[in-house]
Amino acid sequence: MSGAVDISLGQLALASLLLVVALGASIALKLGLTRGLAVAATRMVAQLFLVGLVLEWVFSSENALLIVSLAVGMAVLAGHAAVRRTSRRYPQIWADALVSVLGASFVVTGAAVLGILQIEPWYDPQYLIPLHGMLLGNALTGISLSLDRFMEGAGRERGLVEARLALGATRWEAARPLFRDAVRTGLVPITNSMAVMGVVSLPGMMTGQILAGAPPAEAVRYQILIVFMIAACVALAALGVVGLAYRRLFTADHRFHPDRLRAA
């Protein structure tokens, strides 16, 4: 089986004509999206070319420090993006999201490249960067969903939480329903997508591998690996970030501080 057809710049220009469909709809229906579409499309092209350049550079360097720095940089962006999607915040939320996303993604990526795939060298960017990137995208969603749910619950169920505390509950007994609900919410998307994977949706990574010439059976194995990794990473990240948020809103002296929450 051969690799994919190389796409020339001329062919890309041809592909950009496909955008005319969306632009045409926007103009004809006066959706007011024309400018937005054009800007977004331009940004997408520029960002991807830039990422391509960075990756080419990092891939050819074979420098472990550089590769790990890239992975850390990606995680920082993911943590930041996760918090930006929340509707309430507390002062240390940025640090908490960052710690969770870094911890969860590095533990799981590490387990995969060192333990399961046993890549030599372990920092081979061909494996490390795409696996890590897939995890981050999902961890980001898991963190923002579970954090948002936890803080929303703490605000909405403030009276119930206080009632439990007033009746002698420890901070954990008072917060447990919120905690469980939040972690569950973070795990719903990956659970749902696993159930329909390959039937309703063809996963992007698998499709990409097949396009690049990999035998479908091999692409499927990678896909299964990555989905297990994603599930573990999302679970770790959601548990981690809700645990940290719990410690900010419920102090060790069993007091509840909903006043630390601010609308974003």
Using the rule CB under 8 A, give the single segment among 71-79, 81-89, 133-141, 253-261 that binds other proteins: 253-261
Does 160 bind other proteins (CB under 8 A)? Our answer is: yes
User: Please, which residue, 182 or 230, has the CB nearer to other proteins?
Assistant: 182
248 binds other proteins (CB under 8 A): no
Say how far apart CA 168 and CA 174 lie, in whole Å.
9
Please give the C-alpha separations between residue 64 and each of 70, 143, 146, 213, 261, in angstroms, as whole numbers: 10, 28, 33, 28, 40
Based on CB atoms, which residue is closest to other proteins, 137 or 155? 155
Asked if 173 touches other proteins (CB under 8 A), the answer is yes
Under rule CB under 8 A, residue 56 binds other proteins: no
Q: Which residues pair with 256 in a beta bridge?
A: 250
Minimum gap (Å) between residue 163 Cβ and other proteins: 4
Chosen residue from 83, 165, 190, 206 binding other proteins by CB under 8 A: 165
The answer to whether residue 168 forms part of the interface with other proteins (CB under 8 A) is yes
> In 127-157, which positions are buried (b, 16+ CB within 10 angstroms) versus exposed (e)?
bbbbbbbbbbebbbbbbbbbbbbbbbbbeeb
Burial profile 80-113: b = 16 or more Cβ within 10 angstroms, e = fewer: ebbbeebebbbeebbebbbbbbbbbbbbbbeebb
The answer to whether 195 and 182 are in contact (CB under 8 A) is: no
DSSP state of 117: S
Write down how long the chain is.
Answer: 264
> Is residue 135 a contact partner of residue 108, using CB atoms and an 8 Å limit?
yes
Size of the site for other proteins (CB under 8 A): 15
In angstroms, what is the minimal distance from the CB of 256 to other proteins?
8
Give φ, ψ of 25 to 5 degrees: -60, -40
* Least spacing, CB of residue 173 vs other proteins, in Å: 5
Residue 177 beta carbon to other proteins: minimum distance, rounded to whole angstroms: 9
The residue from 88, 89, 164, 260 that contacts other proteins (CB under 8 A) is 164
Q: For the window 102-141, what string marks contact with other proteins as x by the rule CB under 8 A?
A: ----------------------------------------
Residues in contact with other proteins by the rule CB under 8 A: 159-160, 162-170, 173, 253-255
